[in-house]
Amino acid sequence: YAGPCSQKVDYRFRLNWGSYLSSTEKIIVASFDGRGSGYQGDKILHAIYQRLGTYEVEDQISAVRKFIDMGFIDKERIAIWGWSYGGYVTSMALGAGTGLFKCGIAVAPVAKWEYYDSFYTERYMSRPSENAESYKNSTVTSRVKNFKSVDYLLVHGTADGEC
């Protein structure tokens, strides 16, 4: 999910698809909680209020730049993926046009907040009439020109309300 108030990194050990890939395929898998995530204080939690698709995307991009600077990843083979809100962040990061990500997979991402569930959206973005500029800037389709330089797999169900 990776959306507002969520937490990806905690004290529990888990085996999952990322664990499998990193142990068998010479792939580095990194997960972290950027701005907007929960359990790190109000300043981080509320940083993306009325600004979905901004700081949490910038944090993903900044983390990749740090990993490159550390020198142990191949900057020509960086991918990003996410599901639901994570798919939205994936799409926004690919659409940012940084050239850092070579490919990405977005499963059930939100493409345009005006078309998504108003109860959820307005909790974090207010109403479109009150926050029009942020709604405009948070749309994946506004970044479509930057998708020419990346491989992008969009996965969604038939009549998926999130896409």
Distance CA 85, CA 100 (A): 20
Mean pLDDT of the chain: 94
- Give pLDDT tens digits for 79-90: 999 999 999 999
Q: What percent of the chain clears pLDDT 70, i.e. is strictly above it?
A: 98
Whether the Cβ atoms of residue 53 and residue 142 lie closer than 8 Å to each other: no
Tokens of 100: 């850092």
Whether the Cβ atoms of residue 105 and residue 129 lie closer than 8 Å to each other: no
Report the pLDDT value the prediction gives residue 42, as an integer from 0 to 100: 96
Amino acid at 152: Y
Q: List CB contacts of 32: < 8 A, sequence separation 6 or more.
A: 8, 9, 59, 63
Identify the burial level of 140 via C-beta atoms within 10 angstroms of its C-beta, where 0-12 means exposed, 13-18 middle and 19 or more buried.
Answer: buried
Mean pLDDT of 122-132: 98
pLDDT band per the 50, 70, 90 thresholds, residue 161 = low
pLDDT band per the 50, 70, 90 thresholds, residue 72 = confident
Tokens of 135: 């709604």
For the cut 60, the answer to whether the pLDDT of residue 8 exceeds it is: yes
Superfamily of the domain at 17-155: Alpha/Beta hydrolase fold, catalytic domain (3.40.50.1820)
pTM for the structure as a whole: 0.93
- Give pLDDT tens digits for 26-55: 899 999 899 999 999 999 999 999 999 999
